[in-house]
């Protein structure tokens, strides 16, 4: 059943299967935010090089490493007293990422687009689903390579190439998913829906900016947080709405 737009501009959400996916999206989203908080608590805020940048902590800097110098900026050089602790912390984070977090955020994104699919937005929902699956696959590659690199620091040229492919593909998949989600919110209408859609699209564009322009690196994390929080709140509101009954 497709969603419909009321004269007031409010969007009514399809009942049945669509609501189920909105609820599941919200549940997965809460889990995602919980794990994000856990990652922030157990990973170091300062790299072994002494550099401390709140928006590019070692956990993210490792994902964005492209050279052995980048790796050593995070983990220090061989014999550095900081290295063992950093490896242990980031290995734990990456194992939890691989076992739980990737599946959690993939479920969050997939359920969002499955709800849109049930609500009749076929094109955007299908593109968003493909982007979500791609982000998941690239993230598995990225995280697996990170665990390989920490077993033989500072890694090989080949491993860094695969890390680049994995992390770039992951962030681009997240970007496309955020833009599709935002576009769908704009299409579904309502004043708040349009504001949410604009924020979600902006979040996706911030990820691309931060990924490709190092001075804007803080925008990468901020963009993901903005897009996912907006999607979480949108799913919660959509799950609580009822489609108008037909006389």
Q: What is the pLDDT of residues 104-129, one digit of tens each?
A: 999 999 999 999 999 888 899 999 99
* Cα end-to-end distance, the chain, whole Å: 16
pLDDT at 79: 85
Average pLDDT over residues 52-76: 89
pLDDT at 120: 84
Q: Report DSSP letters for 20-51, one per residue.
A: HHHHHHHHHHHHHHHHHHHHHHHS-SS-TTS-
pLDDT at 5: 40
pLDDT at 52 over 90: no
Burial class (CB in 10 A: 0-12, 13-18, 19+), 208: buried
Please tell me what DSSP assigns to residue 99: I
pLDDT at 15 over 60: no
3-state secondary structure (DSSP) of residue 138: helix
């Amino acid at each position: 059943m497709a969603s419909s737009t009321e004269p007031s501009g409010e969007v009514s959400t399809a009942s049945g299967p669509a609501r189920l996916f909105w609820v599941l999206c919200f549940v997965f989203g809460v889990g995602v935010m919980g794990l994000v908080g856990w990652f922030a608590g157990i990973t170091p805020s300062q790299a072994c090089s002494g550099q401390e940048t709140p928006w590019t902590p070692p956990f993210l800097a490792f994902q964005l490493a492209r050279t052995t110098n980048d790796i050593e900026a995070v983990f220090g050089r061989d014999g550095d007293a900081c290295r063992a602790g950093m490896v242990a912390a980031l290995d734990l984070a990456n194992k939890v990422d691989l076992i739980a977090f990737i599946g959690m955020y993939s479920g969050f994104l997939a359920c969002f687009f499955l709800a849109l699919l049930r609500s009749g937005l076929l094109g955007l929902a299908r593109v968003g689903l493909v982007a979500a699956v791609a982000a998941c696959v690239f993230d598995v590659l990225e995280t697996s390579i990170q665990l390989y690199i920490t077993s033989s620091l500072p890694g090989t040229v080949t491993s860094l190439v695969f890390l680049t492919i994995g992390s770039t593909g992951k962030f681009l998949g997240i970007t496309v998913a955020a833009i599709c989600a935002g576009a769908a919110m704009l299409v579904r209408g309502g004043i708040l829906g349009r504001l949410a859609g604009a924020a979600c699209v902006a979040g996706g564009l911030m990820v691309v900016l931060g990924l490709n322009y190092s001075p804007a690196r803080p925008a990468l994390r901020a963009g993901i947080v903005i897009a996912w929080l907006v999607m979480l709140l949108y799913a919660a509101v959509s799950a609580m709405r009822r489609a108008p009954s037909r006389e």
